[in-house]
Structure 1
Amino acid sequence: MFHSSYIEISKSALQNNINFLRKEIGPYVKLSSVIKGNAYGHGIEPFAAIAQECGVDHFSVFSADEALRLLPTLKKPATIMIMGYLDNPELEWAIQNDMEFFVFELDRLIEAGKAAKKLQKRACVHLELETGMNRTGFGENEINNVLSVLEEHKEYLELKGVCTHFAGAESFQNHDRVQEQLNRYKQQLQRLQASGYTPEQCHTACSAAMVSYPETRMDMVRIGIMQYGLWPSPETYIQYIGQREEKLDPLQRLINWKSHVMTLKYVSQGEYIGYGTSYQASRDMTVAIVPVGYAWGYSRTLSNHGQVLINGVRAAVVGIVNMNVMMVQVTEIHDVRKGDEVVLLGKQGSESITVASFGELSTQLNYELLTRLPINIPRYVVD
């Protein structure tokens, strides 16, 4: 394989999740698959291919470089929406390739109008409104200027959408803030509509808002973490499951991250394992060396805390996680050999290592853990 680890992506799990999400939002709400951050670590190219096979026809990316990677992978017609970074020189490329994109500053809106006029082709823009996130978006005091630019370039700017992003819909402590954002969004939208600009799509909901605030679903939802089989937060999951008679998680995880035993080491009682003196063998031990470390996305904070699966049994990480290897204690696991499969994340037999368990042990968010998986780990699609 020429790689020390690899990632499996389950197509059947994705189909399950897409079916669940479509059932939740209903037939009249568009589902946009958010694949920023290398499809949350799953890989833009393999994920987009199976997503299309699962019926997805709308993708949201953060930047032009992600759109550039996505474009050649699409086998069927699909919409690509760039939500963030898009330099002005890239606007012509985006318009020429039928990309839709967020605008959240006058400079980009003006330059988009100029680029569209040069190409004699309308640019499909989504106005992002500032409602309280204080990151990107047009504030209330900028709406008049926005309207002026839209009017000036009305032949070449198509108002495809009006959107915003909620600042923490995954936590109930942000409830009042989210409600205030929603109110501000509606007020600004009414100003646009009163001036004759009605967007084709109103969209505000991420995964957490889609679950916790159904009124935010509107014309389209931008779904990231949930399509990959994970919940935005324990609170979101508890809220959802608490309203159901059947207390079963409807989502399935797509990802399995695997490696193998590189070699075995026999360590005498009293000896230290790995760098420094963080772990001392309390008895004679057998240690398996696994060729994955923090350079490959396995956090150093999991030193002496992490677990992997070998032969269907949990094995504890001992010593400091190195750049390229880790050591795991396998004394009690029967018949461990060089080359045996090691599951770092996912299922083996009846046991599983969850993304949540990584978060609990390493303080990493599930989003953070997944997106830190290096891009050069090979991803393979499995059933």
Structure 2
Amino acid sequence: MPRPIVATIDIFALQHNLSVARKHAPHAKTWAVVKAHAYGHGLERAVRGFAAADGLALIEVDNAVRLRELGWTKPILLLEGFFDASDIPVLVTHQLQFAIHCNAQIALLEAAALPDARFHVHLKMNSGMNRLGFTPDQYRAAYERLRAIPAVSSITMMTHFANADDAANPDLPLAEQVRRFRQATAGLEGEHSVANSATDLMHGDLAYEWVRAGVMLYGATPGGGTAQDFGLQPAMQLDSEVIGVQHIVAGDAVGYGSRFVADKPMTIGVVACGYADGYPRHAPNGTPVIVDGVRTCTVGRVSMDMLTVDLTAIPGAGVGSRVTLWGKELSIDEVAFAAGTIGYELMCALAPRVPVQEKK
């Protein structure tokens, strides 16, 4: 029989979470963000789960083409734009919208000899996050260069917020990014796209014409509360089984580096899941897990193929016991928080060797 680890994807949960995003921004259109293979959930499932979205957004040109092959006919947006002149014919063939974030991309468009092309461009502003985009004082010049390109048929003005989940952050308040964006785009013709998941859930007045819903669609929180607080449902469940049991006494250590040492007699369960499956190696002792429906925790260091859990208070547990690493019974955000990371990382880190099935 196959190794007992499996990830289960709930298409209904994807659909439900999209409806939550749309409900928070009822007058806006919604991009469903499906980068990193739909945050580890799979493009094929995303196409079905987000069928009601107004468009799909991602960063990988080849995966944008794959979405067309899967039958997606509505808009597709490349959030980082294109990377080379050779990408431009692909944009035309597959009718891909794209971000423009630097002068080098504009120069490539200016040099492209595509008289019949009609590009829908999303001009990125760096309003303070300092990743991609034109600073506010550069923005209008970039806008005018794009307007002068005959193939550019529309320009959507776009920025990304660093602290929408922490609007009063003293280093970069949300209000300051909004002020910079509004000032730099005043009087410019085009739609606006500024709202990520946190903005959609907590600052609906900033929805404008488009929202870009990401991690919320997969049932994890972007911050500012738990996923359950926002009515989101987990779309990924990771389950395995206990494959071995050890009975130890006070003074016995568990795992590489002997990071955990028992202070009393304990029963230790060995679970078929490790960092090669996508579980975080840095998860500390005490990271929550569910065994046979009972909450317990990890002990010892996570290894490549296995992790160990405390079965002492679950006397009926043994080889074959069901283990939930995250999902409906245990929030992926809680596991991520315990491991010092975020739910996004755990989803995206799900390894190809883990079988994936759909919830029936």
Same fold (TM over 0.5): yes
Q: CA deviation at 1:122?
A: 1.4
Q: CA deviation at 1:139?
A: 2.5
**Which secondary structure state, in structure 1, belongs to the residue aligned with residue 256 of structure 2?**
coil
Match of 2:121 among 125, 128, 131: 125
Greater shift in the superposed pair: 260-269 or 209-218: 260-269
Query: Are 2:88 and 1:111 aligned?
Result: no
Residues of 1 paired with 2:284 and 2:142: CA distance? 52
Corresponding letter in the other structure for 2:222: P
Change (3 A) 1:147 1:9: closer
Change (3 A) 1:301 1:144: closer
* 2:16 and 2:233 in contact (8 A); partners too: yes
Residues of 2 paired with 1:172 and 1:15: CA distance? 28
Deviations 1:246-284 (A, max 9, x none): x96422121211112222333355432222332234444
Query: Are 2:352 and 1:371 aligned?
Result: no
* 1:113 and 1:123 in contact (8 A); partners too: no
CA RMSD of aligned residues (A): 2.6
The within-5 A match list for 1:39-54 is 39-52=38-51
Residues of 2 paired with 1:78 and 1:153: CA distance? 24
Match of 1:360 among 303, 314, 337: 337
Q: CA deviation at 1:97?
A: 0.7
Residues of 2 paired with 1:162 and 1:323: CA distance? 45
Number of aligned positions between the proteins = 358
Residues of 2 paired with 1:3 and 1:326: CA distance? 14
The within-5 A match list for 1:290-305 is 290-305=271-286
Question: Which residue does 2:35 correspond to in 1?
Answer: 36
**Which secondary structure state, in structure 1, belongs to the residue aligned with residue 317 of structure 2?**
coil
The within-5 A match list for 1:72-151 is 72-73=69-70, 75-84=71-80, 86-88=82-84, 89-115=86-112, 117-118=113-114, 120-143=116-139, 145-151=141-147
| TM-score between the two structures when normalised by the length of structure 1 | 0.84
Match of 2:182 among 180, 186, 190: 186
Match of 1:252 among 211, 228, 233: 233
Residues of 1 paired with 2:141 and 2:186: CA distance? 16
**Which secondary structure state, in structure 1, belongs to the residue aligned with residue 123 of structure 2?**
strand
Residues of 1 paired with 2:320 and 2:109: CA distance? 55
* 1:112 and 1:123 in contact (8 A); partners too: no
Query: Are 2:207 and 1:217 aligned?
Result: yes
**Which secondary structure state, in structure 2, belongs to the residue aligned with residue 261 of structure 1?**
strand
Greater shift in the superposed pair: 174-183 or 126-135: 174-183
Deviations 1:161-220 (A, max 9, x none): 1111112111133376322222222222225x2xxxx22x31111111223322310001
Residues of 1 paired with 2:139 and 2:236: CA distance? 43
Q: CA deviation at 1:144?
A: 5.1
Q: CA deviation at 1:296?
A: 1.9
Q: Alignment identity in percent?
A: 27
| TM-score between the two structures when normalised by the length of structure 2 | 0.89
- For structure 2, the residue ranges without an aligned partner over 5 or more in a row are none
Deviations 1:46-98 (A, max 9, x none): 2333222xx2241111232442443333x342211011152122122122211
* 2:269 and 2:308 in contact (8 A); partners too: yes
Corresponding letter in the other structure for 2:125: L
Corresponding letter in the other structure for 1:63: E
* 2:167 and 2:174 in contact (8 A); partners too: no
Residues of 1 paired with 2:169 and 2:335: CA distance? 25
Question: Which residue does 1:241 correspond to in 2?
Answer: none
Query: Are 2:156 and 1:161 aligned?
Result: yes
Q: Which has the higher helix share?
A: 1
**Which secondary structure state, in structure 2, belongs to the residue aligned with residue 161 of structure 1?**
strand
Query: Are 2:341 and 1:382 aligned?
Result: no
